[in-house]
Each structure stands twice: as structure tokens, then as C-alpha cells.
Amino acid sequence: MIEFSVLDWSAWAPGITTREQWQAWAIAPWLPTGEDTPALSEVPAMQRRRIERLGRMAIQTACWCEQPDDGGQVPLVFASRHGDVARSMELLNTLSADQPMSPTAFGLSVHNAIAALYSIARGHRGNYLALAAGRATVETACIEAFGLLADGAPEVRLVVYESALPPVYAGFADEPDPFFAWCWRLGPADGPGTRLSLGWGAGGEDRPSEGLPHGLDVLRFLLAGEPALALDADGQRWTWQRHG
């Protein structure tokens, strides 16, 4: 089991963009829909034009959680089950048509591309990484963040973001897949903020998500003030608890 505190948070999804809207959503959640895209005014226009919708969402929430005195050194963990899979599909379709593939498009399709774009745009010089771990992606990312805190980082920013799967992958979907992104500022458990614990062990039969994708349900758990949340996935049971 690990423990940490959530010092602050931000989130963005179509139709839910302010903290007040997210707090109301947590009480009566629904699947975000729509074609809205964040303005991302923090990033210069010439750089912003290279960033697709999913990247704008993730980078927007990361920018909202920045602190003026962090010096661009706070470690970041970017976490997404599928990343910018739509861009990857475009590249595969290009290959299947025997057409030349854009090196730029390929570079922006890799899983850490959004993290790299954020680092370049915001002058971030600290540690960052990007990971994917199936339905337990958020939990795995929190373990990674906890390790960074244990190594001495005063705080870590966790950015979680997802998008809709392309139709060709629809048969593999095991949960709803709306566009959303959120960011948590994580600190040691004995500091300020909302203290959470995360435990894991052998689980039972997988229970697919029905109402919300798990990554969004974890955010709802935090904002709604619920005492606990559980996930059964890949033979593992993950248990969240709130303390205080």
C-alpha cells in the first residue's frame, strides 16, 4: 500500500471546463461529449498548431496545475491507456495505401510525444515519463509518482488523458471512451491536501466499467469526497481509500 496527498487538481473535458462544473459533475456524473478543444493560451500559437486535440487537453490541465516557483523542475508522470491512437491509425492507413509517411506525424504519434511537447512549450527541464498499463493505468502512474516522492521530490504532477478509440478498435473496448484529461499535484502523505491510500492484491473476476471509464471514475472519487473506490482488472484488485 502507498499513501500520498493530492495538493491540487485541474481537469478538462467537452462541456466541463471549470472547477465549479467539475464539482457539480462529480455529484451527478455523465459521459462528456462534444467537439470542444481547450484554448491553451499558455502555449505560443506556432507550437500550439502542432498539438492535436488530445494533447491540448492534457497540456492544458498540466499548465493549470503549474506553480510560479517550481522552476520547471517538478517531475511529471503522463498516463494514458491508448495515447493519440487516432494519429497512429492515420499513419497505418498511409502505410497500407503505400504512401510516404510523415516523419513529423510519426514523431508526434509515440506515447511520450505529448509529454515532450509540454516540456518544450513550457520550458520544463525536470524529469518526465509517459506510461500505459491497461485499465489500471491511473494506479500504475500513482505508484510511479510515489516512487519519485520517495526519492525526494517535494511534489509530482500526474497527468491522465484519454480519447475515443478509432472504429476499427471498437470491438476491443472494455469501457466507455470519452475525451477527458486531468492533472493532480501529488505530495507526501504527511503534508497538506487530501490524503489518499492505494492498495493492491490478488483480485477476482474482472468487472468492466459501465457508467464511466475508470480513469474518469478516479477523478470523480476524489471530487465527490467518497471514502473508497475499487477496481478489479487483470486478476488484480486495486483499492482506493480517503483518509480525513
Q: What is the pLDDT along the chain (244 residues), one digit of tens a residue?
A: 999 999 999 999 999 999 999 999 999 999 999 999 999 999 989 888 889 999 999 999 999 999 988 877 899 999 999 988 777 767 777 777 777 767 666 556 676 789 989 999 898 888 999 999 999 999 999 999 999 999 999 999 999 999 988 888 888 888 999 999 999 999 999 999 999 999 999 877 777 666 899 999 999 999 999 999 999 988 899 999 999 7
Instruction: Single out the residue of 161, 173, 224, 206 nearest to residue 23, CA to CA.
Output: 224
Instruction: Single out the residue of 50, 46, 40 nearest to residue 117, CA to CA.
Output: 50
Task: Give the single-character DSSP code of 193.
Answer: S
**Which positions ≥6 away from 184 have C-beta within 8 Å?**
6, 7, 8, 9, 65, 157, 158, 222
Rounded (10°) CA dihedral 127, 133, 136, 140: -30
Cβ atoms of 138 and 78 within 8 Å: the answer is no
Distance in Å from the first CA to the final CA of the chain: 17
Grid coordinates in use for 17? 471546463
Q: So what's the pLDDT on residue 171?
A: 84
- 135 three-state secondary structure: strand
- Tell me the C-alpha distance between 106 and 232, whole Å: 34
Q: So what's the pLDDT on residue 90?
A: 73
Q: So what's the pLDDT on residue 208?
A: 65
Grid coordinates in use for 86? 487516432
Grid coordinates in use for 185? 499535484
The H or E element spanning position 122 is: helix 113-122
- Tell me the C-alpha distance between 169 and 110, whole Å: 18
Fold of 2-243: Peroxisomal Thiolase; Chain A, domain 1 (3.40.47)
Q: Evaluate the CA torsion angle 207, 209, 213, 217 in order and state its sign.
A: negative
Task: Give the single-character DSSP code of 197.
Answer: E
Q: Which residue shows C-alpha cell 519519485?
A: 148
- Tell me the C-alpha distance between 6 and 30, whole Å: 23
Task: Give the single-character DSSP code of 242.
Answer: E
Q: What is the model's pTM?
A: 0.92
Q: Evaluate the CA torsion angle 121, 122, 125, 130 in order and state its sign.
A: negative
- Tell me the C-alpha distance between 127 and 77, whole Å: 9
Instruction: Single out the residue of 196, 179, 183, 177 nearest to residue 240, CA to CA.
Output: 196
**Which positions ≥6 away from 189 have C-beta within 8 Å?**
3, 4, 5, 195, 197
